[in-house]
Every structure is written in structure tokens, then in C-alpha cells.
Structure 1
Amino acid sequence: MVLLTLRHRGGPNGLGHALSVVSHGYLRVARRTFFALGACGWIAMVWTSALPAQSPDELVISPVLLKAMEEVEVPALLDGAVRQIVVQEGGHVDPTSVLVHMDDRNAKHKRDQAELQARIAGLKAADNSTVELAQIEVEVASASLQRANESRKRFPDTPSQAEMDQIRLRVAEANQHLERAKQDLELAHLTHDLARSSLEAANLEFDQCQIRSPIHGTVVQIFARPGEWIRQGAPVARVLQLDRLRAEAFITQKQASFLSIEGDVMVLVHDMNPQGTAKEGGKEIRAKIVFISPEVDINDDRRRVVAEVDNAQQRLAPGMRVAIRIPANNPSIDARRRKIP
């Protein structure tokens, strides 16, 4: 409310002039307010007319934001220099497609060295001749002791006690040699396993010099340049999966209670006029509800709902705002409670 205080100056004519000025001012304010309200009403009517008429037995959720199903900033797995950029922005890639070649000369040298060490360790692990020789030594010494014992049964002093002690010592030494040979062979097998593990690590390091896409999609941004030194973990490219999109919206708890996972819905897409208003008509694309958040936002008492949209023809793009329509015959809406206030 505006309070105006008028003082009488210059007689009746002055007072009339002041009242005339005030009345004209109010008239101009009222006229501007009328035109502003009329313009807002016209914009609202244009947007409403662009959306399809909502029957009392269906649910329309708007606005809904489209997002990429998967978005990955592919990182460098090792420190190093960029040798070659394989892809270009806008290029389509598959999982394991190479995006960037890093300088792999040092990694290749380590891999070759690990291969040689693994081969040497494998040959040692396969050589059990020492064990076989020690086994024969045990057999010979044991046979010699057996003959000596039989001889002493027939001739008590042949061989002598000192000779018997020497024979027993050779048997013990032969058994010890056999145990040591077995341990050496087991150690050779473990060394071979260690060498193979080192070879796998060297192969992994060499493979990490080729930065690959983890998903199929479209390269929308490249951060690295040939010859540039990049750190481990730094992003080199950004890839979006565009053949499927996520339509995300925030709805009331009552609206969320009418939806169910795997329910079919329709995504309404409308082109925009140069003035920023929605055009008449538009197109509908089938989608499926894949997630209804169990959490309720404490600020606006709403829940997040996500629908998966098939975008194989790439008619849609992340960032677009659309609407979701759930038809009346959709099982996601119970027939007894379809009307949404």
C-alpha cells in the first residue's frame, strides 16, 4: 500500500492539478500491470497448448531432464607422455577401443625383460635331475647298508664297526641330499610363479599405455594432446553413451505411489520456437520406469524417478527437457486411483 500526503499549495487550482497528476499516475501503473498480466497469461496459454491434453485417467510429469545413461571421463592409468590421439571428438567407440597411445618404450623393455626371467625360471622349475640323482644316491647307499648288515649276520666282524658307521653316514648324507634337492625344486617352482606374476604385471603396465574406452558411446571431449605429459588419473577423454538415455524427474509422494518399476511410459518431446515457447505437436517415444527413489527430499517433499529411454536413432540428446506421460491403460496406475489432483 502506498500512502500519499498532498499539501494544498496555490489555492483550489493547485489542489486540482495535484489530484490530476496522481490519478494519471495510478492509471499508468494500472495499465502497465494489466499488460504484464496479459503477457504472462498468453505465454502460459502457448506452453499449455503445446502439451497434449491430459485426460483425468493419465499422469503427465513435466519438466523431465534427459541425461546420458553412462558418462565416463577416461583417465590415464600411468604417468607418461602422450604419443598419439587415436580418436576424434564425435567418434563412436566400443568397449576396449583405444583412445590414446602413451609412450610405451620403457614398458615394452620391462615386459621383454620379464619374459626372459620367466623363461629362465620355467626351465629351472622343469629340471628335476638333481632330485632324481639324489634319489639314486639314497638307493645305492641303502643297498650298501643292507648288504653290510647281511654280511655281519654271517661274519660278525665283516665289515668292521668303523666301516658300518661310514656306510650309515653315507645313507644319512644321501637322504639329506634328497631333501635338499626337493626343497630346491620347490623353490624353483615358486620362483617360476613369481616370475610369471612379474610378467603379468609388466604386460599390464604395457597394456595400460593404451588408454581404452570402458563403454560404447560417443567421444564428446578430448583433454590430452600429443607430446603432453599427463599424470596418472588425469582425464584424457570424455565418452557418453547415447543409445539409451535417462529421463529424471522429481515428483510428489502421491504421484510416486502410482508408479511401479518396469512400467511402460511415453516420453513427450516438443520442439521449441525461436521465442522459447513449445511448438504444437511433438513426438512420443516409449520408455520404461527403472528407478523410484526410496528417499524423500526434506526440502520439497519430492522423490526422484528415472525412466530409461531407447535412443538408438539418437533423436534425443542429454540436457533436453521433456515430459513423461503414463497412459490410462498402463499397469503402473491402479484403475481405482488414476485421477491425480
Structure 2
Amino acid sequence: MFRCRSRGVGAPPDMRIPAIRFTPLALIATGLLNATLLSAQQDYQAWPREPLSAQPNNNADRADPRIEKCLIDFLYDVEVPGEESGVLVFLGVKEGDLVEAEQLIAQVDDRDVRQGYRIAQYGKRAADARAEDDIEIVYSRAAAAVAREDWQEMEQAHLRVNKSTTENERRKAKLEYDRSKLAIEKAEKDRILAKLDADTKQAELDAAQIAVDKRRVLAPFTGVVLEVLRDEQEWVQPGEPIVRIAQLDTLKIDGFLYFDEYDPGEIDGCEVTVEVTAGRGRVHEATGRIVHVDPRAQPMGKRYRYRVRAEVANRQVKGRWLLQPKLPTTMTIHLGTGGESQVGDRRAPAK
């Protein structure tokens, strides 16, 4: 135990300051308290008091991310199947051929469905002719006019000369007139039914056309034939692939960035420049844009990364595509050309 006594300057001899006693435990507690207060003060000073959106934009001072060893590949790579079974009577492509969208590349035997299409055509023509025919309506109207005149003449003759016509004759004339009016309505309804029948025949014709089209194998997009999986005169089943086609006018490039370096919000939608190393050290460039930022984080040791995907337009030079999938590729993302920074976040205190 320590004891300290002191006397105030100029104080009377009988006015003394009480003794202060310090124990080792008290000294340790005091030191820990001072250290805690100092650390809290430093954290408070390091923590920003305004949202991130209020901070100045430093994109101009930051280097654009450059991703080495990106993965460049086909945007679409599909095996094109046949939709109906039959003999493959035509195969118009070979490996390496360039094809346009909707180009005919194969044909399954369609003789039977073409005959069905011709039958549907004739049925549609006959139905259209019946729907356009109004002879019955015209005749019924003319017959009704004559029947009305006959009935009215009988009534007038009966009024002029009593008993010149019998009651039975007048009733028959009135009945004939009423029948003629109903014949008009029937002719009009028959024409409506004929038009509905024409619509039915049109649906049958459309179904026959679909049956013909399903035996035609078309290129789904502009691309290149990678593989031919069937031969002419070979029997194919529905769903079996016939050729494999890949799209080359647009390619996709995947790369990875780290969360602690670039926020996904400032990357999404940005313009990119890719450099593809070709043969003999040549480097081809192309431009595109970020189209997707993967929301899933991937742990890499103590850090986390995320995948970004860009699409770039390819072009042909002397009949050959300039960019080739699977080649070494570098992608540079140009900040501030489409992405948006996060708003309202707070930065973690510096460690």
C-alpha cells in the first residue's frame, strides 16, 4: 500500500488534502480503461459520418480493372434436332460451313404430309367458294317479294269483289310469303356457317403446313457448323440431334473481380475492351459491355470474388471470324460507362 500526503500551497497548516491510496489492481484497471477509451476514439474518427453517395466520385482516379486469362466462349452452342421421325433425304451442310438464321440445313421425308397439305388446300378453296356464294340469299329475297305481291293481290281482290277468292287461297298465299321470308333467314345463316367452315378448313391447312415445316431442319441463328451428327438416307427419331451449330457473331467472356477492390454496382453495364491473343503473337481487339454480374460470392482464401460476364461483337475478316473461342483473352472494364455506385453504405472502420 502506498500513501501520499501533500499540503496545498499557501494553505494553513491545519488544512490538509486527504491521502490517496493506490493498489496494484486499481492501477491495472485504470490502464485498461484508458486504452479502451483511446481505441474507441480512433474508431469514431475513422468511421465516416456521411453516406457513401456524399463522398466525391473517385472513379477518374482509379485504374480500370484489367482481368487476365478470361474465359471466352460461344454465346450459343446447340445441337439442332429433327422434330419428326423419317428418312433424312437431304443434308445440306458439312463441318465448318457458315450458315444464316432460318437457312435449310436438313430435310426429313415429307411426301405424305405434303399430300395432306394439298388436300387441305382444296378443302379450303371449296369452303371459301361456299362462303362467298350468296345466290341462295338473292333468290330467297326475290321469291319473298313475289310471294308478297301474290298475297296482297288476293287480299285486294277479296276486298273489291266479295268471295272472289276463298279464305283457303288467301291463307296459302300468306303462308307462301312467310315461308319466303324464313328462306331468306336460312340462306343468311347458311352463309355464316359456310364462313365458319372456311375458318375450320384454314385451321386444317395451317396444321398441314406445320406438319410440313416440322420436317424441315433450319439453322436457329447465324453461326458455324461444328459437327454433323447424321448422314443422308439415315432414319432419324424426333429429338435426335442432326447437326451442332455455334453462334460466332457474338461471344461471351467471363472473368472474376474481388469485392474488396470493385463493387458490383459500379461494374454492371460498363463498356469493355477485350484483347484476344491469336497466332504468331497477333492481338485482336473487340468491344462490348457487361451484361451480367453473378450475385453469388465465391470464397478465395480470406477474400471473396464474383463472376462478371460481357458480350462482345465478333466480325469477319476475309471470310473468317476474327475472335475464336478458347483463346487467351484479357478484358478491361471501363469504369463510369454504365455502372452505378452503391448509395447509403458506410465503409467499415480501417483495421
Q: Is TM more than 0.5 here?
A: yes
Structure 1 CA distance for aligned equivalents of residues 188 and 93 of structure 2: 55
Structure 1 residues 1-341: aligned runs within 5 Å? 57-254=63-260, 255=262, 256-261=264-269, 263-270=270-277, 283=283, 285-293=285-293, 295-297=295-297, 301-313=304-316, 314-326=321-333, 331=337
In structure 2, the CA distance between the partners of 1:333 and 1:222, relative to structure 1 (3 Å rule), is same
- The aligned length equals 272
Normalising by structure 1, what TM-score? 0.71
Shift of 1:193: 1.9
In structure 2, the CA distance between the partners of 1:155 and 1:290, relative to structure 1 (3 Å rule), is farther
Structure 2 CA distance for aligned equivalents of residues 79 and 252 of structure 1: 51
Amino acid at match of 1:81: V
Structure 2 CA distance for aligned equivalents of residues 246 and 80 of structure 1: 36
Deviations 1:208-262 (A, max 9, x none): 322111211101112222222222232211111112211122333452343241x
Which segments of 5 or more consecutive residues in structure 1 lack a partner in the other structure? Answer: 1-54, 273-278, 336-341
Structure 2 CA distance for aligned equivalents of residues 309 and 234 of structure 1: 32
Shift of 1:294: 6.0
Which runs of structure 1 show a deviation greater than 6 angstroms over 4 or more consecutive aligned residues? Answer: none
More helix by share: 1
In structure 2, the CA distance between the partners of 1:271 and 1:284, relative to structure 1 (3 Å rule), is closer
In structure 2, the CA distance between the partners of 1:155 and 1:251, relative to structure 1 (3 Å rule), is farther
Deviations 1:29-76 (A, max 9, x none): xxxxxxxxxxxxxxxxxxxxxxxxxx9723112332112122232221
Which segments of 5 or more consecutive residues in structure 2 lack a partner in the other structure? Answer: 1-60, 342-351
In structure 2, the CA distance between the partners of 1:258 and 1:192, relative to structure 1 (3 Å rule), is closer
Shift of 1:108: 1.5
Contact 1:294 1:303 (C-alpha < 8 Å) held by counterparts: yes
Structure 2 CA distance for aligned equivalents of residues 244 and 209 of structure 1: 29
In structure 2, the CA distance between the partners of 1:250 and 1:181, relative to structure 1 (3 Å rule), is same
Contact 2:289 2:312 (C-alpha < 8 Å) held by counterparts: no
Deviations 1:145-177 (A, max 9, x none): 222222233234332211111111111221222
Amino acid at match of 1:283: V
Percent of aligned positions that are identical: 24
Deviations 1:274-327 (A, max 9, x none): xxxxx9x76251322231336234766543322222321323322334221235
Amino acid at match of 2:292: I
Tell me which moved more, 121-130 or 132-141.
121-130
Contact 1:258 1:333 (C-alpha < 8 Å) held by counterparts: yes
Structure 2 CA distance for aligned equivalents of residues 299 and 196 of structure 1: 60
Normalising by structure 2, what TM-score? 0.69
Amino acid at match of 1:163: E
Contact 2:147 2:177 (C-alpha < 8 Å) held by counterparts: yes
Shift of 1:130: 1.5
SS of equivalent residue, structure 2 residue 266:
coil
Residue 35 of structure 1 is matched in structure 2 by: none
Structure 2 CA distance for aligned equivalents of residues 334 and 113 of structure 1: 61
